Structure 1
Amino acid sequence: MHDKIYTQIQNNPRFQELVAKRERFAWLLSALMLGLYLAFILLIAFVPQWLGTRISPDSPITWGIPLGVGLILSAFVLTGVYVQRANGEFDDMNQAVLDEVQK
C-alpha cells in the first residue's frame, strides 16, 4: 500500500518541482559558503600581513579576528536562511503534494 503512495508522490509534478527548488537553493547556499571560505583562505595565503594588521594602533585585535568570526557567523546566518525557507515555502509545497496524493 505504501509503495503506491510513494510512487504517486515521486511522480507528482509538484513534488519534482519541490525537490528541484530545494536542491538548487541548497547548492546556492553551499556555493556561497564555499566562496566565503575560499576568499578567507586566499586572504590567508596571499595577504597574511593585512590580516595581522591591528584594527587601530592601540587595539590588540587584528583584522583576521573579526573576519574569522564573521565567517563562522555567516554559516549560522545561511543555516537560518535555509531553515526559514524550508519551514515556509518548502513545507507549504510539501503539504500541497501530500494533499493531492491523499485525495
Structure 2
Amino acid sequence: MEIERIEGHPAFRRLAFERCCLGRVLATAMAGAYFAYILTIAFRPGLLGRPIAEGATTTWGIVAGAGLLALGFVLTAIYVAVANTRLDTLSDRLREDLR
C-alpha cells in the first residue's frame, strides 16, 4: 500500500523525526518561559512589581511580559526558518524519491 511505502522511506522518517524534535524543543522553551513568568507572579510578585528605574512607572513585570510575547515571535520565526530550509529540503527529496 502507498502509505506503508511512504512511512517506510528513510527521508520520511528523518522528516518526521526532525519536525517532532523541533516542535518539542520550541514548545518546551515557550512553556518553560511562560511557567517561569507565572510562577514568579505567584511566589515573588514583588519582584515583578519593582520599577525598572528609580521614579519610573514601568515595572519589571511589564518588561517580562513583553519579553514573553517577543519570545513567541522569535520561536515562530525560528520554526519558519527551519521549516523553509531543512524540512522543505527533506520533503522535496521524499517527493522526488516517491515518483
SS of equivalent residue, structure 1 residue 57: coil
Q: How far is 1:14 from its partner?
A: 1.1
3-state SS, counterpart of residue 74 of structure 1: helix
Q: 2:49 aligns with which of 36, 48, 52?
A: 52
Give the distance between the partners of 2:21 and 2:53, measured in 1 at CA.
42
**Counterpart residue number, 1:76:** 73
TM-score normalized with structure 2 length: 0.94
2:56 match: secondary structure: coil
Is there any run of 5+ residues in structure 2 with no aligned partner, and where? none
Q: TM-score, normalised by structure 1?
A: 0.90
The match for 1:66 is 63
Residue in structure 2 matching 1:21, options 12, 18, 24? 18
Letter of the aligned partner of 1:61 in structure 2? T
Look up the equivalent residue of 1:41 and give its one-letter code: I
Cα distance in 2, alignment partners of residues 68 and 16 from structure 1: 38
Match of 2:90 among 80, 88, 93: 93
Distance 1:66 1:86 in 2: 30
Q: Which ranges in structure 1 are unaligned for 5 or more consecutive residues?
A: none
Identity of aligned residues (%): 35
Deviations 1:62-82 (A, max 9, x none): 110010000011011001100
**Aligned to 1:35, which of 27, 32, 48?**
32
